[in-house]
Amino acid sequence: MPKYSFIARVPNHPGALHNTARVVKREKANINRIQFDQRIDPYIVFFEVSCPEEAYGRIEEGLARMGYLQDTLRPLNILKFFIFLPHEPGALFEFLNTTTRHHANISYIDFDDRGRHPERLTITVSLEENSSAERLLDALKSRYRIEILEYDTTGKKLDDTVFYIRFAQELREIIGESEDPFLLSFLGDINHAVQELMNLGQDPKKIFDSFLATGRTLTRTTGDGFYADMQTIPLSPEITLTCIQPPAGGNVYLIDTPMGCTMVDTGYGIYARDISAIIRKVVRGGKDAIRQIIVTHADADHCGAGGEYGIPASMHPGTLAIIRAANRAYGSRSEASVLEEIYTTMINLFSQISPPKEVSLFDSRTGGTRAGFPVLSTLDVGGYRFEVLEGLGGHTHGQIYLFCEELGVMFTADTLINFGHLSPERAEYNTLAVILVTSVNVDSVAAKTERRNLTNLARETTGSFAGGRTRCLVCCGHGPVSVIEDKEFIPFGAVEHYVPCE
């Protein structure tokens, strides 16, 4: 039976929710999910139902006739004003007749004849149409003395009695103008995630704020707001490794060789122009010199700009499956997680994902292993042999690692991260994902094994990248390129700060 979702705006009086359920019952639809919390919004109820398509159409029609169907998220017009009423019986009643006739929703009213201003009433109302607000003002001005305090047509002054409409306006500031049906569907997804997390004991305000903070961080750190921390490391006399740490999300690596440049992970789609400007500065030939892209896994901050470079990207088949399914938990024991699926939808939208359009798959194994990981393939990068190691599915299904024994270099994707040397801003951004999915790993047990195996491999490996035998260079998914000393990640070489104007 197909599933459908809708949002009901239910009046705050006894039996209103019962009336909504009666419409659903009449069409023999089964309610799969319902969420209403007066602490968030006193009127909005989210439903998911199973029923034939024609029955769902009749449910929407029935709710619309009752005035219960929330089918628009247009910003409300907010009016706040003083009204000077005659001090006589029935004066307030007559005034409210006018506001009701013009479909004005009262969210604030204040009057006290023993207060500082016993002659006036302070009131805030919201209306859906500009024309309704103008007609209300004309009607009031013809009968009363009135002073306008605020007239907001943007929705920025909305209070929590219309929380979801206000939240939708804040989403529009992140993703741009969107059609109401799309935004209503996205709002339903976010509400589902909030419902799941509230059942785990999380504060709903913190959850909603985390969704908005994720999008706002990405939009404000592009263009003139973009910056990066960079390391430039000679791997040989002719090969240079550049690590780019964007403001948010995973690292982008460039291995520049006389035969061309290899890019390991691409960053978010929203940063594509900013990263391209860096490539023009640090790679001989700029973007045209990129000969191959290696995607370590399917998270948007690692594959999300692949479609901007016009060349095929190499990846694990599981990574391609996750991109197509738009669910970062696909192929794992967490595949049914509502949180993982909704987080993927959200981050793909906010980060303007543009995954690789053409792919080449590492779809066979050589029969060998390295540090407990199957060897999928080998790559030639500047004349050096890099092994492609298949992860165990801890962070995501299909995550891979790159390892060059001769140089002593490994790319660890998100299994090893130098958390201790993340900037405070990057560390704060990383915590948002943890809030919204509870863990960034789809299989925590496997992730622990992978961390141990990679750490041991790094400790056992020496390389020639610094002109002599030295410790293994660990190219983390986030944070600076490092070496391991005792149990700590120590950044290797100088870290330079880049801003576009420099």
Calpha distance 210→376 (Å, rounded): 38
475-491 as b/e: b if 16+ CB within 10 A: bbbbbbbbbbeeeebeb
For the chain, counts of helices (H) and of strands (E):
13, 25
The answer to whether 282 and 228 have CB atoms below 8 angstroms apart is no
Residue-wise DSSP of 405-442: TTTTEEE-TTTS--GGGS-HHHHHHHHHHHHHHS-S-S
User: Cα–chain-centroid distance for residue 257?
Assistant: 35
Contacts for 62 with CB less than 8 Å, ≥ 6 apart: 23, 26, 27
What is the domain partition of the chain in residue ranges?
3-66, 77-152, 223-498
- Which tokens hold the place of 462? 């020496």
The answer, yes or no, to whether residue 76 has pLDDT greater than 80, is: no
The answer to whether 475 and 486 have CB atoms below 8 angstroms apart is no
Please name the amino acid found at residue 344. Answer: T
Mean pLDDT of 198-205: 94
Q: Examine domains 3-66 and 77-152 and report if their fold is the same.
A: yes
Average pLDDT of the chain to the nearest whole number:
92
Mean pLDDT of 49-58: 96
Alpha helices in 125-253 (DSSP H): 130-141, 163-175, 180-199, 204-220
Q: What is the pLDDT of residue 77?
A: 77
| Cα separation values, 82 from 79, 151, 276, 414, Å | 10, 12, 55, 57
The answer to whether 408 and 464 have CB atoms below 8 angstroms apart is yes
**Residue 24, exposed/middle/buried by CB under 10 A (0-12, 13-18, 19+)?**
buried
pLDDT digits (tens, 9 = 90+) for 98-124: 999 888 888 889 888 777 888 888 998
The answer to whether 386 and 402 have CB atoms below 8 angstroms apart is yes
| Cα separation values, 37 from 46, 105, 189, 201, 385, Å | 10, 20, 16, 14, 58
Mean pLDDT of 258-278: 96
Q: What is the pLDDT of residue 119?
A: 83
Q: Left if phi > 0, otherwise alpha if psi is -120 to 50, otherwise beta: which for 176?
A: left
Q: Where are the beta strands (DSSP E) in 346-417?
A: 359-361, 369-370, 373-381, 384-390, 400-404, 409-411
235-267 as b/e: b if 16+ CB within 10 A: bbeebbbbbbbbbbbbbbbbbbbeebbbbbbbb
Q: What is the pLDDT of residue 502?
A: 55
- Which tokens hold the place of 265? 């992970």
Calpha distance 424→497 (Å, rounded): 15
Please state which CATH number belongs to domain 223-498: 3.60.15.10
The answer, yes or no, to whether residue 248 has pLDDT greater than 60, is: yes
| Cα separation values, 489 from 176, 198, 233, 380, 460, Å | 40, 36, 17, 28, 15
Parallel/antiparallel/unpaired status of strands 488-491 and 496-498: unpaired
Q: Please name the fold of domain 3-66.
A: Alpha-Beta Plaits (3.30.70)
3 state DSSP class of 231? strand
Mean pLDDT of 125-139: 81
More confident residue, 157 or 60: 60
The answer, yes or no, to whether residue 160 has pLDDT greater than 90, is: no
User: Cα–chain-centroid distance for residue 159?
Assistant: 24
pLDDT digits (tens, 9 = 90+) for 77-96: 788 889 998 888 888 899 99
The answer, yes or no, to whether residue 75 has pLDDT greater than 70, is: no
Calpha distance 257→396 (Å, rounded): 30
Alpha helices in 244-299 (DSSP H): 272-282
The answer, yes or no, to whether residue 128 has pLDDT greater than 90, is: no
Calpha distance 33→36 (Å, rounded): 10
The answer to whether 223 and 271 have CB atoms below 8 angstroms apart is no
CA angle, 489 then 491 then 493, to 5°: 150
CB atoms within 10 A of CB 466: 17
Is residue 245 very low, low, confident or very high in pLDDT (cuts 50, 70, 90)?
A: very high
Cα separation of the two ends of the chain:
58
To the nearest whole percent, how much of the chain has pLDDT over 90?
73
Q: What is the pLDDT of residue 117?
A: 82
pLDDT digits (tens, 9 = 90+) for 371-430: 999 999 999 999 999 999 999 999 999 999 999 999 999 999 999 999 999 999 999 999
Q: What is the pLDDT of residue 338?
A: 95
The answer to whether 227 and 352 have CB atoms below 8 angstroms apart is no
The answer, yes or no, to whether residue 246 has pLDDT greater than 70, is: yes
Q: Please name the fold of domain 77-152.
A: Alpha-Beta Plaits (3.30.70)
- Which tokens hold the place of 481? 């390129």
3 state DSSP class of 107? strand
